[in-house]
Amino acid sequence: MNGLRACAQKGFGRWLSRSKAEIVGLQEVRAREEQLPDDVRAPRNWNTHFVHAEKKGYSGVGLYSRRKPDSVETSLGEARFDREGRVQLARFGRLVVANAYFPKGSGKDRDNSRVPYKLDFCKALFGRLQRLRKGGYRVLVVGDFNTAHHEIDLARPKANQDTSGFLPEERAVLDQWVDAGWTDTFRHFEKSEGHYTWWSQRFGVRAKNIGWRIDYVFASPAAMRYVTGAFIHPGVTGSDHCPCGVSVDPEIFG
């Protein structure tokens, strides 16, 4: 979102009401629940749940759902991850929607100093979701992974070989997901280039479509059987990211 309060001023509420979505996951909310306007915090006909970081104006995730989740977990069991408010594991019957805001690997000085933390976060979340799979749940992982997997997933791969978000060790994490049987739902349906979910806010970059595909919906094998389509909506311009998602058979809830 690059800040839900800012996005709300650019039409988020209108988009949400017209979206026809069943479940919406937000990343980088950057606000505590009590700081949100009432029509954003608790819009009519939606159940909402928010997780904020200890640091003000930083990170945070939010979940909007038509039906009330049976439960929502927000901890990976390590304070260094939990204090940044990056995860919601919402259970709806046999479906678990993991809404996650993966850390960036770049530090304050635009170096790659946060890459080890990012990789540790990925390992902890992956382990938690693998256990949910083994427990018989159908799992969809939605969110900003902050990593472009393949060269097709960013406009200028050669210029970004040493940039966090396209480092070999970061891309290897997504290899691990695929090798373990998870499906990148968008790539399952769409093989062509030029599809991105994030663009720099520098003037003209988005208009020229010089972007990165770093937002995904990954599906476990049990969930993928119910996924009927996947999409990216680059025309939605409320932030530097755009929405992406999947269409599913309602039977996924079990």
pLDDT digits (tens, 9 = 90+) for 66-94: 999 999 999 999 999 999 999 999 999 99
β-strand pairing of 95-101 with 138-144 = parallel
- For residue 4, is it within any domain? no
Confidence of residue 8 (pLDDT cuts 50, 70, 90): very high
Q: Is 144 a catalytic residue?
A: yes
- For residue 249, is it within any domain? yes
Distance CA 66, CA 90 (A): 13
- Specify whether the CB–CB gap between 86 and 118 falls below 8 A: no
| 158 phi-psi bin (left φ>0, alpha ψ -120 to 50, beta other) | alpha
What's the rounded mean pLDDT across residues 218-231? Answer: 98
The model's pTM: 0.97
Residue 48 DSSP SS3: strand
Residue with tokens 């009590």: 34
In 3D space, the residue among 130, 120, 124 whose CA is nearest the CA of residue 96 turns out to be 130
What's the rounded mean pLDDT across residues 193-219? Answer: 98
Which CATH number belongs to the domain containing residue 159 in this structure? 3.60.10.10
Residue 110 confidence (pLDDT) above 90: no
- For residue 28, is it within any domain? no
Neighbours of 204 (CB within 10 A): 9
Q: Give the range of the structural domain holding residue 92, as residue numbers without chain letter.
A: 69-253
pLDDT digits (tens, 9 = 90+) for 132-163: 999 999 999 999 999 999 999 999 999 999 99
Q: What is the pLDDT of residue 69?
A: 98
pLDDT digits (tens, 9 = 90+) for 13-47: 999 999 999 999 999 999 999 999 999 999 999 99
What's the rounded mean pLDDT across residues 212-222? Answer: 98
Give me the catalytic one of 144, 153, 184, 215.
Answer: 144
How confident is the prediction for the chain on average, in pLDDT? 97
Q: What is the pLDDT of residue 20?
A: 93
pLDDT digits (tens, 9 = 90+) for 165-176: 999 999 999 999
Helix (H) or strand (E) holding 172: helix 168-179
Q: What is the pLDDT of residue 116?
A: 98
- Tally of domains within the chain: 1
- For residue 34, is it within any domain? no
- For residue 80, is it within any domain? yes
